[in-house]
């Protein structure tokens, strides 16, 4: 990347960060007065953003754990970017969800007085365990040659267990709710794990292809493997979605039919068709199948999948809340907060922008300043 490109990227990042900081400031001063979610759609953009970031974090870490567990030498160079992506996005997820809480300074209570029958409490505990584990693995990565491969293998297996449990738990947080037939699906945890893998691996592919920070990462074979993995995962997610939509809509009736119909053909249909299907699936498929080993093609393909997977998260979180529990409730008592329609406010977008800028900063500072050895390989680790 030349200096001009770097400057442009820095200016964009700075603009997003400043905009985001104004949002954070207004959130801290005005509380939740500037949000558009409300009492009937209680979870909005920030909850969708949390599931998105956490998904990427888990998916990226799974890539690292698989390399550890199965000792895949070819993929060894992706471990560090994968762990960095995982830590950076997890931080963003935790930040954005804390702004969603009515009493963010009481978050510690989830640890001091947890209710372990709550999926949310379980997922929060697992999220902490996941973050600590990722940071521990990053610390090991800073000390090349000091850890025996059998230790890494065990770490990989345990990491896999933790990541899959955590990701499944995140899906179950919604899927276990009987209040929304749309959420209450046994496919939920599977979709959550699949989506995490897709978005996480895609972002690692983008980072390795577009911003390689060691010579080993600039490897067409490596890009090819990652591109193929992402292609496979796109098809897997589309298959799950087909199953969900076709089963619920086939006979054009049933509880979910109208809701799914509106996702496909309602006012926000562009989120599904333009962002998810065209920008997040078809174009990346073309790029990744066409030139899977070429840096620009693989990088942009991966980036598009990762970025536009946010549409899937939004389409999962929001529609699950827009159906009134009983007929006529939307007209029974109305004010700004008691509506079943939702579009995020500018301040919600700004805080989301802050979390994105923050994760980019963490990733950049990580690759720039953490003393990773560029020649570190699994053989040097005591095999």
Partner 1 sequence: MKKSALPCRESKPMEKENSAFKPPVTNLKRRKFLKNSFIAIGGLGTITGLAVNNVFAGEQTAASPLKDPESFADGSHLERMRVELLRALEKPVDQRKWVMVIDQQKCVGCSACTVSCNSENNLPPGVVYRPVTKVEVGKYPDVSWVFTPRPCMQCDNPPCVSGCPVNATWKREDGIVVIDYDICIGCRNCIAACPYNARTADFGDFFGLETPEIMDYETRPNFEYSKEWPRNPGSHESPIGNARKCTFCLHRVRVGMLPACVTTCLGGATSFGDYNDENSLVHELVGSGRAKRMKEELGTAPSVYYLI
Residues that bind partner 1 (CB under 8 A): 31-33, 35, 38-40, 42-43, 100-104, 106-107, 109-110, 113-115, 117-121, 124, 176-180, 321, 324-329, 331-333, 335-338
Q: How far is the CB of 314 from partner 1 (least distance, A)?
A: 16
Q: How far is the CB of 167 from partner 1 (least distance, A)?
A: 18
Q: Which is nearer to partner 1, 105 or 251 (CB)?
A: 105
Pair 197, 62: CB distance under 8 Å: yes
How far is Cα 196 from Cα 177, in angstroms, rounded to an integer? 20
Q: Which is nearer to partner 1, 177 or 210 (CB)?
A: 177
Q: In this structure, what DSSP letter does residue 184 have?
A: -
Q: How far is the CB of 347 from partner 1 (least distance, A)?
A: 13
Q: In this structure, what DSSP letter does residue 144 have?
A: T
Q: Which is nearer to partner 1, 102 or 267 (CB)?
A: 102
Sheet strands (E) in 71-117: none
Q: Which two tokens stand for residue 2?
A: 């030349």
Q: Which two tokens stand for residue 47?
A: 């909850």
Pair 134, 116: CB distance under 8 Å: no
Q: Which is nearer to partner 1, 255 or 383 (CB)?
A: 255
How far is Cα 370 from Cα 141, in angstroms, rounded to an integer? 10
Q: How far is the CB of 123 from partner 1 (least distance, A)?
A: 9
Q: How far is the CB of 247 from partner 1 (least distance, A)?
A: 20
Q: Which is nearer to partner 1, 72 or 338 (CB)?
A: 338
In this structure, what are the phi and psi dihedrals at residue 300, rounded to the nearest 5 degrees?
-70, -35
Q: How far is the CB of 192 from partner 1 (least distance, A)?
A: 16
Q: Which two tokens stand for residue 117?
A: 């029958």
* CA 217 and chain centroid, separation: 23
Residue 375 CB-half CA count within 13 A: 1
Question: How many residues in the chain?
Answer: 383
Q: In 10 A of CB 191, how many CB atoms?
A: 22
Q: Which is nearer to partner 1, 110 or 155 (CB)?
A: 110
């Amino acid at each position: 990347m030349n200096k001009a490109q770097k400057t442009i990227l820095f200016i964009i990042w700075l603009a997003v960060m400043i905009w985001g900081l104004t949002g954070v400031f207004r959130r801290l001063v005005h509380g939740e007065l500037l949000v558009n979610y409300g009492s009937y759609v209680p979870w909005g953009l920030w909850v969708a953003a949390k599931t998105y970031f956490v998904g990427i974090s888990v998916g990226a870490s799974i890539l690292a754990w698989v390399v550890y567990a199965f000792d895949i030498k070819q993929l060894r160079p992706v471990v560090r970017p994968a762990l960095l992506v995982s830590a950076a996005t997890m931080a963003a997820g935790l930040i954005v969800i804390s702004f969603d809480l009515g009493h963010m300074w009481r978050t510690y209570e989830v640890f001091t007085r947890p209710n372990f029958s709550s999926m949310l409490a379980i997922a929060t505990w697992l999220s902490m365990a996941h973050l600590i584990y990722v940071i521990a693995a990053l610390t090991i990565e800073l000390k090349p040659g000091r850890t025996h491969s059998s230790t890494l293998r065990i770490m990989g297996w345990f990491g896999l267990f933790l990541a899959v449990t955590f990701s499944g738990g995140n899906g179950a947080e919604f899927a276990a709710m009987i209040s929304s037939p749309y959420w209450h699906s046994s496919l939920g945890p599977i979709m959550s794990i699949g989506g995490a893998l897709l978005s996480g691996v895609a972002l690692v592919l983008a980072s390795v292809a577009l911003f390689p920070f060691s010579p080993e990462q600039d490897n067409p074979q490596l890009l090819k493997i990652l591109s193929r993995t992402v292609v496979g995962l796109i098809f897997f997610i589309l298959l799950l979605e087909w199953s969900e939509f076709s089963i619920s809509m086939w006979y054009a009736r049933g509880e979910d039919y109208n809701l799914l119909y509106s996702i496909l053909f309602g006012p926000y249909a562009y989120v599904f068709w333009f962002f998810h299907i065209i920008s997040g699936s078809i174009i990346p498929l073309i790029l990744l199948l066409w030139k899977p080993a070429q840096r620009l093609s693989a990088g942009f393909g991966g980036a598009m999948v990762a970025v536009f997977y946010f549409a899937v998260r939004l389409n999962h979180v929001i529609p699950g809340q827009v159906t009134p529990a009983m007929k006529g409730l939307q007209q029974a008592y109305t004010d700004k907060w008691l509506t079943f329609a939702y579009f995020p406010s500018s301040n919600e977008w700004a805080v989301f922008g802050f979390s994105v800028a923050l994760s980019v900063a963490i990733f950049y500072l990580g690759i720039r300043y953490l003393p990773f050895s560029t020649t570190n390989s699994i053989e040097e680790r005591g095999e």
